[in-house]
Amino acid sequence: MRTLVIGDIHGGLRALHQIMERAKVTAEDTLIFLGDYVDGWSQSPQVLDYLIELNTTNSCVFIRGNHDELLLHWLKDSKDNLMWYKHGGEATVLAYEKVDAVTKQLHVDFLLSLKDYYLDKKSRLFVHAGFTNMNGVAYEFFPKLFYWDRTLWETALSLDRSIKPNDLLYPKRLTLYDEIYIGHTPVTRIGKTEPVQMACVWNIDTGAAFKGPLTILDVDTKEFWQSEPLNTLYFDEKGRN
């Protein structure tokens, strides 16, 4: 049995199908999804349908992403904004024109059930974006930062590698967990299209919302599988480009 972590999907169901096939996922595998299931490509409703169905056959953990929260506000409370539209929300709104009320309610229930984070028995933290409290996720004062924060990743990226974890200058947040798995900030921003490890942080968002692939990674072996770049799977769409 494997524990597999999946990066930001952003409405790319075709890519999700590819990585499930390429990783040869079975019902014995535990799947941890890091959030941002929607916004970008045209199949956000179908991605949620797929995940809801997958949860009946596999042991799944679904983390909340910022885009999932934005969709929930729109579906449940009719809240939207121009910034959301410009960052992938418009494709999602258009896709939901063909979705019936019963399915929309199933999606609302799914979005409400998402977890802010998941901490396993091996001190491995799975969270969409990050956290800010120096004592860890259980003490976070601002839960929205679990799916909006970028400072954890920026800290790991900028860390002087000569500073050791027992040094007084070493960031305390990076000593609390053996490994931290995140999405949210695409590694394509630093010119990468494969998972990137900085200190104890593993960033699995390989830019599927844009021109990168979707990634699934075995957390024990670090072997990973990727889809084709999403802009080639949805060649007639813009995604978030």
pLDDT tens per residue, range 105-136: 999 999 999 999 999 999 999 999 999 999 99
CA distance 217 to 70: 26
Torsion over CA: 132, 138, 139, 144 (sign): positive
- Model confidence band, residue 2 (pLDDT cutoffs 50, 70, 90): very high
pLDDT of residue 82: 86
Give the model confidence (pLDDT) of 12-42 as tens digits.
999 999 999 999 999 999 999 999 999 999 9
Give the model confidence (pLDDT) of 161-177 as tens digits.
999 999 999 999 999 99
Answer yes or no: is pLDDT of 148 > 90: yes
Give residue 123's identity as a one-letter amino acid code.
S
Give the model confidence (pLDDT) of 215-239 as tens digits.
999 999 999 999 999 999 999 999 9
What is 3-233's CATH superfamily?
Metallo-dependent phosphatases (3.60.21.10)
Exposed, middle or buried by CB within 10 Å (0-12, 13-18, 19+), for 160?
A: exposed
Closest CA to 152 of 115, 120, 177: 177
Edge-to-edge strand ranges of the sheet holding 224-226: 59-62, 30-33, 3-6, 215-218, 224-226
Write the CA distances from 155 to 20, 26, 173, integer angstroms: 32, 36, 9
pLDDT of residue 80: 82
Answer yes or no: is pLDDT of 202 > 90: yes
Answer yes or no: is pLDDT of 81 > 90: no
Average pLDDT over residues 77-89: 88
User: CB 138: neighbour CB atoms within 10 A?
Assistant: 9
DSSP SS3 for 175 = helix
Supply the pTM of this predicted model: 0.97
The residues spanned by each domain of the chain are 3-233
pLDDT of residue 69: 96
Average pLDDT, the chain: 97
